[in-house]
Chain A
Amino acid sequence: MTAAAHARPRPAATVYPAVAAGAFRRYATYRVATAAGVLTNTVFGFVLAYVYLALWDQRPQLGGYGPEQAVTFVWVGQAMIGAVALLGGGFQEELQERIRSGDIAIDLHRPVDLQLWWLAHDCGRAAFQLLGRGVGPMAGGALAFDLHLPTDPLVWLLFLLSVWGAVVVSFAIRYLLGLASFWLLDSSGLLMLGTFLGVFASGMLLPLTVFPGLLGDVVRALPWAAMLQVPADILLERRTGTGVLTGLLFQACWAVALLAAGRALQLLATRRVVVQGG
């Protein structure tokens, strides 16, 4: 008790970067798993690239992309799977386990913010997975296919900014799902639902610009569009000029709204925490 009271918390300016760096190193430890992931993403990339080529051969300019852009979309998606946790993964299972076991009570006593702690952790994880699992498939795709890659370094910079936006939106959604464990004994079903929505409405399944009619309008406005469709459109230069700005703004709005919702839910949830003595 006294030890905790006397310990001086590290200033926030160094603690969150330290958490992010720790998460980066933690994921960097599993080299074989990373290599296996790169292989899997590359195999899927090849399969989907040929399917897209056949589709765009029939309908050039479908969804506003040329064939080269469509194939590039496939590889951008495969490169971002790990970083943006498009097929699940990340921190939420761990958070749920801590809620279930009661360890969350310790986390809440730490002189750090729970949401920011996990956000820092997720950014560190994403940074590693973008390098470790993103560069490989992208390079493989560029070797085997003609890709539409921008030559202007500014576009690449904006793309990376947008990928970070995608990670934050993805985090905010997964944080909300993870917190549901305070109310549900087993929220694995909810996480599963979240993953399906993520695959369906992010552009992983097909670019959202290809979705027909009203369905297309709806999915393009949902937060999942911020997780792949927006960054991909910036890299493919389907969004240029003000289009880039509105894309980034779209991501920022969803990020702020979802993080705020996470914060509100966290307040509600922590009122429910009862620490058993003994």
Chain B
Amino acid sequence: MVDALRAYTLTAGMWIRASLTYRASFAMALLGSFIGSGLDFVAIMIMYSHIDALGGYAVAEVALLYGATSLSLGITELLVGNVSRVGANVRNGTVDTLLVRPVPVFLQLAADRFALRRLGRITQGALVMGWALVALGPVRAGWSPLDWLLLVVMVLAGAGIYGALYALGGAFQFWAQDAAEVQNAFTYGGNTLLQYPPTVFAGELVRGVTLVIPLAFVNWVPAATLLGRDAPLDLPGFAAWLSPLVAAAACCVAALVWRAAVNSYRSTGS
């Protein structure tokens, strides 16, 4: 385990050094990640230039949701995002090389072409989160240390849930190599969903992303407690603290599916 993580940091470090060789290119890519992931927030600000509340949520509350899911997705994308490109490796048979190395395939894929530019999304999410915390002054004044802990747990557990989705999406590509976009539907699509309050969406959709794909635990459920609102599906108050358990369970399922997927790998012909 320690060896595997060491291999991951070494590979990631190599790619970081490589990307920093061309400073101007790196700066531009970083800025690109920052702007690209921030466009959604521009849309939200334009919406709020016409209204005071969307689904009953004020702009600062939506900013908290937005910041939380951006941070979670940003962390996951940085650490394991490149697993989403495994389909190309399966298609051209280069998973062979990964299998003979004494490091788990998942970590090798995650570290391959480690993209430090993805700090752009994290920075953007952190700025929006910071702004939300300032704008939420009166609400925040009532927070106990436990609430601040919940804020941190929310972001980290959210990253875990996104991580499970990346692994499941990657596993699916062992069977359907060209289906890289399927996981975009759940990761980036989920991220877009979670930028808006649950009150905006139809009941069945909310039930689906709470009970089937547990996206709601990324931010909706914990943030409801922080904002003093009703949780989706009227979940009880302690549900806010369930997100680490949900993330752990999701990661276990993803690990099993990933293992089955790697075992089904048959290399290529010729």
Contact = CB atoms under 8 A, between A and B. Distances in A.
Interface of A: 30, 32-33, 35-37, 39-40, 42-44, 46-48, 50-51, 53-55, 58-59, 62, 186, 188-189, 192-193, 195-196, 199-200, 205-206, 210-212
A39 B47 contact: no
B196 A212 contact: no
A211 B43 CA distance: 9
Given A55-B50, A196-B35, A44 B189 contact: yes
A16 B192 CA distance: 40
A189 B181 CA distance: 22
Contacts of B192: 44, 47-48
Contacts of B53: 58
A50 B205 contact: yes
A46 B201 CA distance: 9
Interface of B: 22, 25, 28-29, 32, 35-36, 39-40, 42-43, 46-47, 49-51, 53-55, 176-182, 184-186, 189, 192-193, 196, 199-202, 205
A205 B50 contact: no
Contact of B43 (A33, A36, A59, A206): A206
Nearest to B180: A36
Interface of A is mostly: helix
A58 B181 contact: no
Given A36-B182, A59-B51, 8 more contacts: A32-B176, A36-B176, A39-B182, A40-B181, A51-B196, A192-B29, A193-B32, A210-B47
Contact of A43 (B36, B176, B189): B189
Contacts of B22: 186
Contacts of A51: 54, 196, 200
B156 to A, nearest CB: 24
14 contacts: A30-B178, A32-B179, A36-B185, A40-B181, A40-B184, A40-B185, A44-B185, A47-B189, A47-B192, A50-B201, A50-B205, A54-B54, A55-B51, A212-B50
A204 to B, nearest CB: 9
B184 A206 contact: no
A55 B47 contact: yes
B200 A50 contact: yes
Q: Which 5 pairs between the two chains have the least Cβ-Cβ distance?
A: A36-B181, A33-B178, A189-B28, A32-B178, A43-B185
Nearest to B51: A58
Contacts, number: 100
B23 to A, nearest CB: 13
Contact of A211 (B46, B178, B196): B46
A188 B182 CA distance: 25
Contacts of A43: 185-186, 189
A58 B32 CA distance: 33
A243 B47 CA distance: 26
Given A44-B189, A54-B55, A192 B32 contact: yes
A188 B54 CA distance: 37
Contact of B39 (A47, A188, A193, A199): A199
Contacts of A30: 178
A47 B29 CA distance: 28
Given A50-B202, A55-B51, A210-B46, A196 B184 contact: no
B178 A58 contact: no
A44 B193 CA distance: 8
A195 B36 CA distance: 9
A199 B41 CA distance: 13
Nearest to A42: B185
B200 A54 contact: yes
Contacts of B177: 32
A189 B25 contact: yes
Nearest to A33: B178
B39 A205 contact: yes
Contacts of A40: 181-182, 184-185, 189
Given A36-B182, A189-B25, A189-B28, A59 B189 contact: no
A205 B36 CA distance: 12
Nearest to B201: A50
